[in-house]
Amino acid sequence: MSQTKISAPHFPLQTSLPNGHNFRGKIGVFDSGVGGLTVLKALLPRLPEADFIYVGDTARLPYGSKSQATIARYAVSSARFLVDQGAEFLVIACNTASALAIDDIRDAAPVPVLGVIETGAAEAHATSATGDVLVIATDATVQSHAYANACAALGLRGIEKACPLLVPLVEEGWIDHPVTSEVLDIYLAELFAQADAAGLRPDTLVLGCTHYPLLRGPIERALKAHAHRGQIRVIDSAEATARHVAAALPVGTGTEFPAAGRATMRFYATDSVTKFRSLGTRFLGQPIEDVSLVDLGG
């Protein structure tokens, strides 16, 4: 896998609209599939007046097993599509695209772009007392070391673990399933062995893939086997990203408030709209009615 063009994260997070921008409330949210809907779900209560345009590049999913050049090409075409639809701010709600293509997207898109790696690392920084952080993510995200670099930029030590079986298990709907529990037990045991070998005392686990928030319950249960190490806090970068977006935009208050239900959402998928509707409803936590099919190329 090519590991070129991986840049250091930008801290402090300065992604925001320029002063004087007449913001019309159009926010583009992009993921390789439905996982980014966990970020949209977190955005809704914070930006109840926004117009969200979501694209899930389901035809080209998974990104997590592909090369940097391919991920960048796919992500840039998706980002351009969102800008063409009027998006004034882009949320890259995909860890893999954020890890491997954020600079390409920023070069291609004439609007502010926020990824989920920087926000996840910033949240880990705010949470961890020991400064030692565990990260689970896709293979491509782990190979890029984007999280380890983002953690290091904040003075944290990050240990990353690729968990390639988790995305298909979530897509299959096997959330509270014995196979998923077993897979999680194995991955976490290997991750803690890695941390032990490096002499780390982790107290924080970052969910470095937007599919993983659906597994938060099973992950927290699996962590109980490691309770003798002390409490491990689970960080969901969707929540952290939503807070950063709300703070960067001149709409809403930037604080948590109950959903007013006035946000509008438009959904685009590059593969079956029927599958996007049924799977996406589970990720968003509310029914998805209209999904348009879009062809973003090969």
61 in contact with ligand DGL (CB under 6 A): yes
| Known active-site residue 209 | yes
* Minimum distance from residue 123 beta carbon to ligand DGL (Å): 15
CB nearer to ligand DGL: pick between 31 and 51: 31
From candidates 39, 209, 242, 263, binder to ligand DGL by CB under 6 A: 209
27, 61, 92, 94: the active-site residue: 94
From candidates 15, 128, 144, 210, binder to ligand DGL by CB under 6 A: 210
191, 209, 242, 284: the active-site residue: 209
Site for ligand DGL in 88-107 (CB under 6 A): 94-96
> Using H for helix, E for strand and C for coil, what is the string for the chain?
CCCCCCCCCCCCCCCCCCCCCCCCCEEEEEECCCCCHHHHHHHCCCCCCCEEEEEECCCCCCCCCCCHHHHHHHHHHHHHHHHHCCCCEEEECCHHHHHHHHHHHHHHCCCCEEEHHHHHHHHHHHHCCCCEEEEEECHHHHHHCHHHHHHHHCCCEEEEEECCCHHHHHHCCCCCCHHHHHHHHHHHHHHHHHHHHCCCCCCEEEEECCCHHHHHHHHHHHHHHHHHHCCCEEEEHHHHHHHHHHHHCCCCCCCCCCCCCCCEEEEEECCCHHHHHHHHHHHHCCCCCCEEECCCCC
32 in contact with ligand DGL (CB under 6 A): yes
Contacting range for ligand DGL; rule: CB under 6 A; set: 25-33, 189-197, 238-246, 282-290: 25-33
Catalytic residues: 94, 209
Binding residues for ligand DGL, rule: CB under 6 A, are 31-33, 35, 61-64, 94-96, 138, 141, 167, 209-211
